[in-house]
Structure 1
């Protein structure tokens, strides 16, 4: 007898982010085997151009694999990732989903895709592992400013970082990598490895190998929260709420109704200080998801209550 939706627990999601050629797929293979050895049911979502070269006999038939091609999970394939995660939740209900993003994906956009309002009760806040080619990262100034910024952001928003190809780094270069990361306001923990070997890295949590449970006290980082409105709200009050938001709020997405047009549901999105409203034909639940850095959830909830009940 299948488990009902009401009793299903949320799926954990671990995202591997990092620039092209950093070793994400090699790390993914090791993480899959490690999770399986601890008894977890595993699913994989690949958003990479190319084949997924994993020995199926090694992984077994109990690992579900989905591919997202011809686009990037952080932009053109956002809707696709929502559909895939919904399907995994209802059909396979894995304990953990590993997502290997393309080398050009931005981690905040990936988090946004995984924390869609329709997924908030099914998927935990993604845990980000940055994968770095140490030498290439140190040579990032030779790339365009956009690419350099992306390489830095991929590491900045990670909970911790696997620095691959350690044997190619001198002591001075290793120190330079550490210094570069220590300038980040989050200062994620670094692990230097070769071939993404993680055998000597303790990833075991009290339930399964939950990395987040060990580092939560150190890395507040990006968080998410959801809020459900009881009915239509006033547009003017929403605009004032948005004007007062701190810069630490990165994304808001969800569904709203307004008192000026109470029968119409709108898909609402907010990013980089700009709100967008799009009529929604379906009568969706009036829930929004807020993603930001070190959220003051109590304060935000109080302000949203004022919006909701004014």
Structure 2
């Protein structure tokens, strides 16, 4: 049987960073990982994080837990039939309810081939502090992702004071007292923390499907390079309902675009050394008026 871990967490919490870290550690231990990724929009920038040679399947513009469950079963079945691997890592979209996403794993087509180890939820500690500013539907999903975890990563602890850190850990642990909680920066934990997992007997699921969240994904394409200063001014003016931006931004004076990530008001730029599509994906609520500068 192949061990399966499901990575959950809201948009921009650090799930893909955790995925990359686990892939590296598994390979160091001689294990062969495979990855199944889910994205809300029609493009999956996060799949670039999965290094070449790792078996990868993905489902776009849908949700593992909703209308895409049959597609998910087919993708996992294809992985099992065509690829040689020891561990399956499933990264859900940030808009997915983790327990609903288990439907694909427990398909009668291949359930006896998989050993589900547990749900690992990456919780953005800074977003937790400001959770009451989220819309009721989004806040409900955020809390559900934490409540149903078997292992909780209180991530981005470096952005909080010591007092805030203690408050976050106490409050998150109170919401899910059965799960182990680990304070992290950049979602860094040893693979041994996952190996010890066994799924908890969770309470009744309160469903919060994407269809009720009013979340949208929007692709914006660049017609020409932009000045970084003007682009960052545009970022600062975006509404709080923009939860996540990722993609490739062409900057004036640079030959290749920069890989770009944005979550909760914080931007990350990484240089690229090859030609990429000059576009970004924006995920959030009420994106009708959001256009490039």
For 2:71 and 2:137, how far apart are their aligned partners in 1?
Answer: 26
Look up the match of 1:220.
200
Relative to structure 1, is the Cα distance of residues 39 and 33 closer, same or farther in structure 2, using a 3 angstrom cutoff? same
1:177-215 per-residue CA deviation (whole Å, 9 max, x = no partner) reads: 1222222354322222222222xx4x33xxxxx725x24
Q: TM-score, normalised by structure 1?
A: 0.60
For 2:91 and 2:148, how far apart are their aligned partners in 1?
Answer: 15
Look up the match of 1:189.
180
Greater RCO structure (CA 8 Å; 6+ sep): 2
Unaligned ranges ≥5, structure 1: 1-9, 205-209, 223-247, 252-270, 272-310
**1:52 matched to 2:46:** yes
Root mean square deviation, CA, Å: 2.3
Q: TM-score, normalised by structure 2?
A: 0.64
Look up the match of 2:90.
99
Tell me how many residue pairs correspond in the alignment: 204
1:93-114 per-residue CA deviation (whole Å, 9 max, x = no partner) reads: 4211111110010011111221
User: What does 1:121-270 align with in structure 2 at a 5 Å threshold?
Assistant: 121-198=112-189, 201=190, 203-204=191-192, 211-212=194-195, 214-216=196-198, 220-222=200-202, 248=203
**1:75 matched to 2:66:** yes
Look up the match of 2:19.
28
1:204-251 per-residue CA deviation (whole Å, 9 max, x = no partner) reads: 3xxxxx725x244xx6334xxxxxxxxxxxxxxxxxxxxxxxxx5669
Larger radius of gyration: 1
For 1:110 and 1:119, how far apart are their aligned partners in 2?
Answer: 15
Q: Deviation at 1:134?
A: 0.3
Unaligned ranges ≥5, structure 2: 208-293
Look up the match of 2:262.
none
For 1:126 and 1:116, how far apart are their aligned partners in 2?
Answer: 16
Contact 1:16 1:100 in 2 (8 A): yes
For 1:116 and 1:250, how far apart are their aligned partners in 2?
Answer: 18
